[in-house]
Amino acid sequence: MKKLKIAIQKSGRLNDKSVGLLKNCGLKFENYKSTLITQVSNFNLEILYLRDDDIPGYVEQGIADLGIVGENLVEETQAKVSYLERLGFGKCKLKIGIKKESNIYRLQDLNGKSIATSYPNILKKFLKEHNLQADIKLISGSVEISPGLGLTDAICDIVSTGGTLRSNGLKPFVDVASSEALLIGREEIKENQTFQELLLRIQSVLRASETKYVVLNAEKENLDQILNLLPGVKSPTIVPLAEEGWVAIHTVISEDDFWVKINQLRNAGAQGIVVMPIEKIIM
């Protein structure tokens, strides 16, 4: 059977997370950064290590069946690929940054200005959507230095913490687009059985990362109130305790509202709450 090929970033901010995700899926391989291809020993898969901006094109051309890459690069390259799964890591924003003392106050003030960027297609789309005309300067390196050198009035680049902007005398002005890591592939890959097995593993790992396994004790008289707070995967598991009138409740809680739920459970009479990480959830 032909091996599936997945392309991931050879080095950079998505490499460690991509490797971690695949290893959490039970795949055994070496993360060789000095080679372009490594074999997965226990799954019908090869991993290609590529420059991140090459990944969308490799997938579009069928050289790689799948890719893990930032949404910003898929949008910028305009590769004809399908978004198969949002992976929840590598989140960032593409922002327009301006000098701290800039006279740009409103979006309309960008008209006639020059903007340095490595993402001209995304920026063009943003400007068109807001009926703006600006001179886009394509720069492949560190765009943040261009306003300070007097080359442009603003920049448009990926911003995670904003530290690079501040260190170059810039401040964020407006969000252009949001991005996160995606699993991409051509539409026909959805029919591939090996891909479906891999997708099941990835989805189970992602679900687990978003939830906590919780065991708590409660008196039976408080059970209804507590159950109303706990959806579980399907529904909570209830186990009688040796002490009369008490039960143990097993459930999962979303990471997003975890502490809110815990406080609500304590107020409803829950005691001895034990929280554990979940490795995988298979639906």
What are the tens digits of pLDDT across the range 128-184?
999 999 999 999 878 999 998 889 999 999 987 778 888 889 999 999 999 999 999
What pLDDT sits at residue 141? 78
- How many Å apart are CA 214 and CA 140, to the nearest integer? 48
What pLDDT sits at residue 233? 57
State which amino acid sits at residue 126.
Answer: F
What pLDDT sits at residue 246? 95
Least confident of 18-22, 247-251, 255-259: 255-259
What pLDDT sits at residue 173? 94
Q: Which residue has the higher pLDDT, 124 or 257?
A: 124
What pLDDT sits at residue 231? 67
State which amino acid sits at residue 222.
Answer: N
What pLDDT sits at residue 278? 87
- Going by the DSSP 8-state scheme, the letter that residue 229 receives in this structure is T
- How many Å apart are CA 144 and CA 66, to the nearest integer? 32
**3-state secondary structure at position 272:** strand
What pLDDT sits at residue 45? 97
What pLDDT sits at residue 140? 83
What pLDDT sits at residue 277? 87
What pLDDT sits at residue 129? 96
Q: Classify strands 181-185 and 211-219 as parallel, antiparallel or unpaired.
A: unpaired
pLDDT at residue 31 tops 80: no
Mean pLDDT calculated for residue range 84-102: 94
What pLDDT sits at residue 232? 55
What are the tens digits of pLDDT across the range 35-67?
889 999 999 999 999 999 999 999 999 999 999
What pLDDT sits at residue 26? 95
Q: Whole-model pTM?
A: 0.85
H/E element, 56: helix 55-60
User: Are the C-beta atoms of 72 and 158 separated by less than 8 Å?
Assistant: yes
Mean pLDDT calculated for residue range 23-32: 90
For residue 39, give the nearest of 5, 8, 1 by alpha carbon.
Answer: 5
What are the tens digits of pLDDT across the range 110-128?
999 999 999 999 999 999 9
User: Are the C-beta atoms of 74 and 177 separated by less than 8 Å?
Assistant: no
What pLDDT sits at residue 51? 93
What pLDDT sits at residue 206? 93
What pLDDT sits at residue 48? 96
Q: Confidence band (pLDDT; 50, 70, 90) for 15?
A: very high
What are the tens digits of pLDDT across the range 202-245?
999 999 988 889 999 999 999 999 988 886 556 789 999 999 99
Go through the domains of the chain in sequence order and give each one's CATH number: 4-88+180-208 (3.40.190.10), 92-179 (3.40.190.10), 211-277 (3.30.70.120)
CA contacts within 13 A on the Cβ side of 146:
24
Q: CA–CA distance from 254 to each of 206, 224, 249 (Å)? A: 12, 20, 16
